[in-house]
Structures are given as C-alpha cells and as structure tokens.
Amino acid sequence: MRIVVIGSGTAGSNFALFARKLDRKADIIVIGKEKTMQYSPCALPFVLSGKIPKLEDIVVFPNSFYEKQKIQLMLETEAKEIDRERKVVITDKGEVPYDKLVLATGSRAFVPPIKGVENEGVFTLKSMDDVRKIKAYIEERKPKKAVVIGAGLIGLEGAVAFRELGMEVLVVELLEHLLPTMLDKDMARIVQQHLEEKGISFKFGVGVSEIIGSPVKAVKIGDEEIEADLVLVATGVRANIDLAKKAGLKVNKGIVVNEYLQTSDPDIYAIGDCAEVFDAVTGERTLSQLGTTAVRMAKVAAENVFGKNVRFKPVFNTAITELFDLEIGTFGMTEERAKREGINVVVGKFKGSTKPEYYPGGKPIHVKLIFRKEDRKLIGAQIVGGERVWGRIMTLSALAQKGATVEDVVYLETAYAPPISPTIDPITVAAEMALRRFK
Amino acid sequence: MRIVVIGSGTAGSNFALFARKLDRKADIIVIGKEKTMQYSPCALPFVLSGKIPKLEDIVVFPNSFYEKQKIQLMLETEAKEIDRERKVVITDKGEVPYDKLVLATGSRAFVPPIKGVENEGVFTLKSMDDVRKIKAYIEERKPKKAVVIGAGLIGLEGAVAFRELGMEVLVVELLEHLLPTMLDKDMARIVQQHLEEKGISFKFGVGVSEIIGSPVKAVKIGDEEIEADLVLVATGVRANIDLAKKAGLKVNKGIVVNEYLQTSDPDIYAIGDCAEVFDAVTGERTLSQLGTTAVRMAKVAAENVFGKNVRFKPVFNTAITELFDLEIGTFGMTEERAKREGINVVVGKFKGSTKPEYYPGGKPIHVKLIFRKEDRKLIGAQIVGGERVWGRIMTLSALAQKGATVEDVVYLETAYAPPISPTIDPITVAAEMALRRFK
C-alpha cells in the first residue's frame, strides 16, 4: 500500500509515525512545503520571549528520524493538484501516485484587510519564519511599543512575550473581552486584571482601522492615533482547503470528514487544522485547530487507513495556557455561547485556594462550571488560578468526555495532601453551587 | 429532628456542617473527646517538619464557627454506650437522646506488641497530642537517629520530616517495599531511590523485635542492634468500633454499613475511618480511611438523614503525597494485589517528561496503568514524578470513576501548552502500551 500525506506539520508528521508503527511495509510519503517536519506552533511565543532558547529546538524530530523509519520525505515541495481519477498528487516536483491520500494541509494566519497591514514591522505569529522575522526586526529596530490585534491565545501569549522583552504592550480586541471563545466575561476579567498588573493595556470592542508608517509608527483606533513600532496581527487562523476544494472534495470552513476522518472521497482522509470535527456539546461540525486534536486525528486516521474502523470522538477543545503567574484552562461551552445558541445551562462558580488554609503558599483559584439543564451534563469549564489549573481542567474534561453529570462532579473522589490540594476540592464545591441551582 | 454525632473529627465535623446546610432547624449535637472540632491528621507530619508553622492552625474552624451555626458541641466528652431501645447515648456527662445517630468514631494508631514499645522516645503520629509530645521530646533530647517502623504514607512523611530536621533516618518495613498497599515494587523503587539520595535508609522484609532503653537507645532488628534515640511507630490504624460492637451493631474490621451508610440499625449511620465502604474494583467491603472519603461519607450521610436516598459510591482510594521533590499519586488495584486476588490485568508503563522536550525544566514522570483484562477497564494507576502528578492521577481516577476503558485513555483529549505539558501526554502513551498487550 502506498500512502501519501500532504502536509508535514503536527498532523502529517504524527500520521506518518503512527502509520509506520501499525505497518512496517507500507510506502509512506510525506509532501511538505517547509524544510523540516513537525514543530509546535504553540511554542513560537516562548521562542520569542526567549524561554525556549533556540528556535530550531521546537522541531520535534530531525528529518533523519523519519527517514530511519522509512518514511519518504518530499520536503520543500508544493502539492499543486489532486487527480482523483488517476489517484495522483501533482507537485512542483512531479507526480506522486497514492492508494490512500491524507490531507494535513493545516491552517494559515488570517490577516484582516486593514490599511497598512503589509507595512514593515507588522507580523503574524504562526510559523518559524514569523519568529525569525520578528526577532530580526526587534534586533534591528529595538521597538518599544507593541500593539497586538486580537486577544485570543496567540495574541495574549505574544503580548506577554513582548512585555517580557521590555516593551509597552497594548492589546486591541474587537469583541467584549479577552479569550472570547474560551472564557466568559467574568473569568476573562480576572485574567485581564493580572495582565494589566503586569503592564499590558487593553482596548475592547474596537478595531484597528489603519496601520501608519513603514516601518510602522502608529495604529489608528477610531479617531485616536496610538504610537506603535511593532504590530502583531493575531486574529485567528483559516483552514487550508484550496487543494481539497479544487479536487472537488466537500468543504465548509474546513474539509468535511465523516467520523472515520474520510473526506467525501473514501480514499482521501483529512486531519488536523484543515479538517472539520464534531463539537462534543452541540454535535455540529466545527474547527478545533488544536495540536492535541491534530495528534488524535492522526492516530485515528492511521488506524482507519489500515482498516481498523476507529471513530474519532467529538471534541471539547480542552486548552491550557500560562500567562505570567496565571494558568488558564478551559473546555467546551461558555455561558455566553450557550446563551447565543439557546442552550439552557446551570452554572456553578467558586473561588477557592489551591492548598488547605493552614498550609503556606496556597494561591487563589477560580472555577466556573457549565452544566446543560436538560440532562445535567457537564458541558464546559473555565478555571483561572495560580497553580494546578491543568490538573483540574483535565479532570473535568475527562469527566465530560465520559458524559459526567453534576452529581458525578459533586461526589467526585479527589486526592488530598496538605502541600498539594485541599480536602474539599474547589471543583467539587463549584459543582455543588450548580447543584443547588438545579433544584 | 434531633441528630447526634459521636466523633468530632473530619467525618463528624463535616457531617454537622453539611446537615446544617440542608436543614436550618434540626438539632445537631456533636459529642467529641478532644477540645476542638476537626483538624487534618494528614497535616501532622508537616507540623512536625515546621512547614506548617503552628499546630493550632490545622484545626479547620474554631468551635465558635460551629456554635454560630447552632451546632451544639459537647467536647471533652466520652460516649460510653448507646442504648438503642431508648435511643439515647450515654456519656460521662449524662444522657443524650437522638432521633438519628451518626457514628464518626474514627480510628487510632495501631501499635504492634513490640517489647519496649511503651518506652520514652517511642511515638505514634496520629493526633495533635502526638505532635506535641514528639516536639517536646526533640526539644529536650535533641535526638540524632530516628527509626521509623512502617513504610506507609505516615511513616514516610514522618521520615521526611525527621530528615528535614537533620536526623539520620532508617525506615524498617516488614513487607518487600515501601508504600506496599499503594505501589508495586517497580514504582516503589523509584521513590526509594529518591529518598535514599536524600539520606533516608531502608530495611525491608524485617521487623523491629525490641526497642531498647527508656529513653530509647537502640532497636533490635534480627540479631542486629541499631542505635536510635527516637522511634516512630507507623504501622497503620485500626477503626474504633467498640462502641458500635457493644451496641450490637454489625461490625467487621470496621462498622458495617449499607450503600446509604446506615448500620444494621437504620436510625444509626456510620461514616469516616470507623466505617467500611465498598471497594470500587472488587466490590468487597474495605476500610478506606482517607480524609476525602470521610468528607464524602459525611455529605452522603447528611443527605440521607434528611431522606434524600443518595448512594455512597464504591471507592478507589485516590491518594497523593509529596516526599522531597517527588509527587506520588495512586488509586485502585496494584499489579501485586491483582495477582494475589487472581484478577487478570494488563499493564501499561511509560516514563516520560512533564514538559515537551524543547521546553526547559521538564521533570521525569513514571506512569503505570492497570487495566482489568476481562472488561478492559482502568482499575488502578500509579504515578511518580517531579511535578503535575496530582493532575494526572486525578484525571485517571475520574476516568476510572466513570468506568473508562483502555481505549478511553488512549484517545483521551488532553490539554497542551509548552510550559505546562507535552502534546502527547505520558498517561495516553502508557495506555497505548497497555492496548498493544491486549491484542
């Protein structure tokens, strides 16, 4: 069997490795535009800040690692077209025949059509090349005032990096609060306050209408001109679906796949940022675009290419980040989104401490749980705290993935030790708050 | 309604508070031997080491807190007998009538009949008074060589405290390895090595046959006499069941209760260390004797006293500790116990890192997962690592509590961020190792 993968990012690289584990003999060919195989785009802000010392370190494995496993690499190669009749990928370096094709074409930074967005000193933060350019620019121009457009994860992580490099930083977000798809306003406020204490400013409900100067000197927000000598555009990503579309495959915002990750052509799979998945709460098609989702899709697609019939489960988009001294973890439905989509929810909130009161060093932790009224199921959670947020959001996400109800969280068996966690965990207290409102 | 609670520890105190939340009017009376309500026995080793500066701080709430909630306290009072016919508790301060009675009589340190065990300088570590005595002895005698009998949680936490206070420490354990009910030998070895690096010595498979001198000068192990000027006996606890037994209630090693936590007398409940629970893996009656179990039992019993009919779920005994720079988390069945009990299991093990390779500061983490062969369910886990063990053991325990199979763990949606966790989590890799062995 000859399996061709288009895309050398997280999804494509992991697919190749999983496939090789499952079958020692199949021909596995990866076509990729870049010089290397997968690296973690989530690591880019930390390279920028210097926490990860070397950009090259974020490349997970050297090319030789794949080649040793007899994965054939066609890097710095562009797939131009898919001829589904002949089962051939047409690239700028010739034709590549396939039995099974895996589209792992990823996503690209979305850049809104702001006047001056192509000026010098305006960047996105999606690729290793982006980091190289920003670092070179910082080296050369020594910018002092950064404006970040977009208060999503990458925007905020970029803002923190700039701040850590000593710049004044302003974040501008069109919506009402930061991390608008991950948090509700009440939780976002806690994060905002922490970032403001660390010297990052915010403007919400407004957009940048113009970027002035090349190299950039200022941005225009409404009538106001604000000095800036570096601009980061972090307004989300778009799935790369052109190749699939051109090949006549079914696409929406992403490539449409069934639960076995097959596109409308059963010999062609799509995985990672370019492909749609099912939302675990609504059951509707959505884009996940998380690295962890890409890895799981790669695993499932590899199983299915070899005839295993594994279903890819709907996603909750469990996510975590660290911004200065705060950890922020979320998954599933926010209260705001539930309201927009007409889903009746019951919310439980609790502010506690990460350690028992008598043990020194406990940090505040805010827990917000969202249950669906109809079936009492946990459909979302938001946690903001000084430590051990990851463990709590993972615990809650695992529960939600297994269909847990409010009672399951209230009576959850937790692990307690004085230096680590309280006897009665904040997540169970938050669930109790919700349970009372159910009655 | 008149509800009487015997026992002012974690179970009794929490019961009173939960009951008061559920009913503003009921008479709630707590009979307790000590001067204060609940404190955390798990915190005692940390008071010893000085990490918790003041012993009194571990008392969760002052007595006035309960009294403000109109919980009537009869402290420094001993319940002598229960007259079930007349529904009266007979105490050393008079009779206390009840409509519903809750036994929360707790447990006491088990002291084996070693010659010299009553000598000066030999202690247990179960109560605030124990800590007062040990502290006074250390102050007065400045002991340099401690011997700890028993390598369970309290024994090891005590050993660490003595070591941190500058003593030479030897731990003697009758069984083959440390934490014998929580860990298998392979995992215990990792912990042992860390403790040895920190200067704690071990002897396994042997017992102390005599304690010599008062104040203690040495212990005898086989033919060997080993110098020691402080001995901690940490050989487990026994449930306090005498009162229940005398009242004719059904008892085994603990007081027997049904899943609503009622004893053989439906008007009498038993909760906390004195009561038996159901083991989530085997379904058999067992003693849990964890603080978290006591709290959950208190909650469930309070609901049931007011007619709610909530079932107390079988327990996995999820537990966590920190010993120097290692976190150790466990729940459920060990491989060794499964072998003893004739349960066929499939094991998955993995040693990974707590952070992605490219991010500085990751620490080793060892994961061992135990699945039941018959139904592929996760029935136990052991994790030893440098950080974020709590979150992983909680996630796995939550999954097990919801009946997760090996596939549920393999395909678990996890949360990834470079400073916090790897893209592919060690727990999912360990599950994959197990999955391969299923085939």
Residue ranges of domains in chain A = 2-34+75-108+237-305, 122-233, 319-438
How many other CB atoms sit within 10 Å of the CB of residue B286? 19
Which pLDDT value is given to residue A439?
74
pLDDT tens-digit readout, A157-180: 999 999 999 999 999 999 999 999
Closest Cβ opposite residue B414 in set A318, A359, A411: A318
Centroid of chain to Cα A372: 25
Cβ atoms of B55 and B40 within 8 Å: the answer is no
Cα–Cα distance for residue pair B81/B312, rounded to 1 Å: 27
Which of residues 203 through 222 in chain A touch B, CB cutoff 8 A?
Answer: none
pLDDT tens-digit readout, A100-142: 999 999 999 999 999 999 999 999 999 999 999 999 999 999 9
Question: Using the 8-state DSSP alphabet, how is residue A311 labeled?
Answer: P
Which pLDDT value is given to residue B439?
74
pLDDT, mean of residues B419-434: 96
Q: Residue B332 corresponds to which tokens in the numbers above? A: 């459920």
Question: Using the 8-state DSSP alphabet, how is residue A253 labeled?
Answer: S
B287 touches chain A (CB under 8 A): no
pLDDT above 70: percentage of residues in chain B:
100
- CATH architecture assigned to B2-108+238-305: 3-Layer(bba) Sandwich (3.50)
Q: Give the bridge partners for B4, in sequence order.
A: B29, B101
Cα–Cα distance for residue pair A9/A31, rounded to 1 Å: 10
**Among all residues of chain A, which has the CA nearest to that of B52?**
A359
pLDDT, mean of residues B292-320: 97
Distance from CA of B330 to the nearest CA of A (A): 9
Q: Is the pLDDT of residue B68 over 80?
A: yes
pLDDT, mean of residues B297-322: 97
pLDDT tens-digit readout, A41-96: 999 999 999 999 999 999 999 999 999 999 999 999 999 999 999 999 999 999 99
Find the helix or strand (DSSP H, E) in which A400 lies: helix A389-401
Would you call B416 and A10 a contact, using CB atoms and an 8 Å cutoff? no
**Cis amide leading into B215 (omega within 30):** yes
Instruction: Report the catalytic residues of B.
Output: 42
Q: Residue A96 corresponds to which tokens in the numbers above? A: 């590549």
Q: Which CATH superfamily is domain A122-233 in?
A: FAD/NAD(P)-binding domain (3.50.50.60)
Please give the backbone phi and psi of residue B223, each rounded to the nearest 5 degrees, phi first. Answer: -90, -5
pLDDT, mean of residues B217-231: 96
B164 touches chain A (CB under 8 A): no
Distance from CA of A287 to the nearest CA of B (A): 15
Closest Cβ opposite residue A390 in set B290, B327, B420: B420
Cα–Cα distance for residue pair A378/A393, rounded to 1 Å: 12
Cβ atoms of A125 and A48 within 8 Å: the answer is yes
* Catalytic choice (A22, A33, A40, A42): A42
How many other CB atoms sit within 10 Å of the CB of residue A14? 28
Mean pLDDT of chain A, nearest integer: 97
Cα–Cα distance for residue pair B113/B118, rounded to 1 Å: 9
Closest Cβ opposite residue B320 in set A292, A401, A420: A420
Partners of residue A421 in chain B, C-beta under 8 Å: 320, 390
Please give the backbone phi and psi of residue A297, each rounded to the nearest 5 degrees, phi first. Answer: -65, -40
**Cis amide leading into A112 (omega within 30):** no
List, run by run, the mean pLDDT of 10-residue segments along chain A (439 residues): 97 98 97 94 95 93 96 98 98 98 98 97 97 97 98 98 98 98 98 98 97 98 96 98 98 98 98 98 96 97 96 98 98 98 98 95 97 98 98 98 98 96 96 93
CB within 8 A of B241, min separation 6: which ones?
B105, B251, B253, B254, B255, B274
Partners of residue B423 in chain A, C-beta under 8 Å: 10, 40, 291-292, 295
B327 touches chain A (CB under 8 A): yes
Q: Is the pLDDT of residue B235 over 90?
A: yes
Short-list A340, A406, A125, A255, CA closest to B310: A406
Select from A390, A406, A428 the residue whose CB has the most chain B CBs within 10 Å, as the one to mutate to test that interface: A390
- CATH architecture assigned to A319-438: 3-Layer(bba) Sandwich (3.50)
> A2-34+75-108+237-305 adopts what CATH topology?
FAD/NAD(P)-binding domain (3.50.50)
pLDDT tens-digit readout, B101-129: 999 999 999 999 999 999 999 999 999 99
Would you call A316 and B413 a contact, using CB atoms and an 8 Å cutoff? yes
Domains A2-34+75-108+237-305 and A122-233 share a fold: yes
CB within 8 A of A415, min separation 6: which ones?
A421, B292, B318, B319, B320, B329, B331, B390, B393, B394, B397
